[in-house]
Structure 1
């Protein structure tokens, strides 16, 4: 199999893709394990993830990789936000951090 393009997607979207694929045919070992893990940890539906993506995209400093991580982990406080954003945490102003957390709490 040849990889044509890599695209970052939230975990909920990966879960939905695997769920649809499972309806068509049996998942292979890796797909099945991934599906089982995502089933346990996906916290929101695809519609909510898309809404969050649109809202978070309005914050200029947030890159796509940040947005995907924020949607997947849904940090609820600044300590969790710092963990998700890791080395990029300090590039955000305090008001931007608060704005991110407010969006994620909706």
Structure 2
């Protein structure tokens, strides 16, 4: 199989794709395991993930990969956030991210 492009996707997007594939055909073992994982650990609805992504895009120093990780993992503390980040962000940006995430945690 040839990879045509590569793009980080949120667990919400991956879950939607996998559920569509599951309706079309029988999933393999790894695909079933991935879908089970996504059903268990995806915490946001599609609309919420898109809203959070739009807010995170306003923080220019965040890469697309970092935004996706934040949406997937929803870090609640600065320590958790620091484990996700590949770049050093100002404290103000970190506080903004944590405040945004807190608004989406149920």
Instruction: Give the whole-Å Cα distance in 1 for the aligned partners of 2:40 and 2:100.
Output: 23
Q: Counterparts in 2 of 1:45-64, with a 5 A limit?
A: 45-64=45-64
Deviation at 1:62, TM superposition (A): 0.5
Structure having the higher helix fraction is 1
- Stretches of 4+ moved more than 4 A in 1? none
Aligned residue number for residue 97 of structure 1: 94
So what's the TM-score if we normalise by structure 2?
0.92
Aligned residue number for residue 30 of structure 1: 30
Report Cα offsets for 1:39-75 as digits up to 9, x if no partner.
1111111111111110000001001010000000000
Aligned residue number for residue 10 of structure 1: 10
Q: Secondary structure at the match of 2:2?
A: coil
Q: Secondary structure at the match of 2:8?
A: coil
Instruction: Give the whole-Å Cα distance in 1 for the aligned partners of 2:32 and 2:57.
Output: 32
- Structure 1 unmatched runs, 5+: none
So what's the TM-score if we normalise by structure 1?
0.92
Aligned residue number for residue 69 of structure 1: 69
Deviation at 1:95, TM superposition (A): 0.6
- Count of matched residue pairs: 103
- Structure 2 unmatched runs, 5+: none
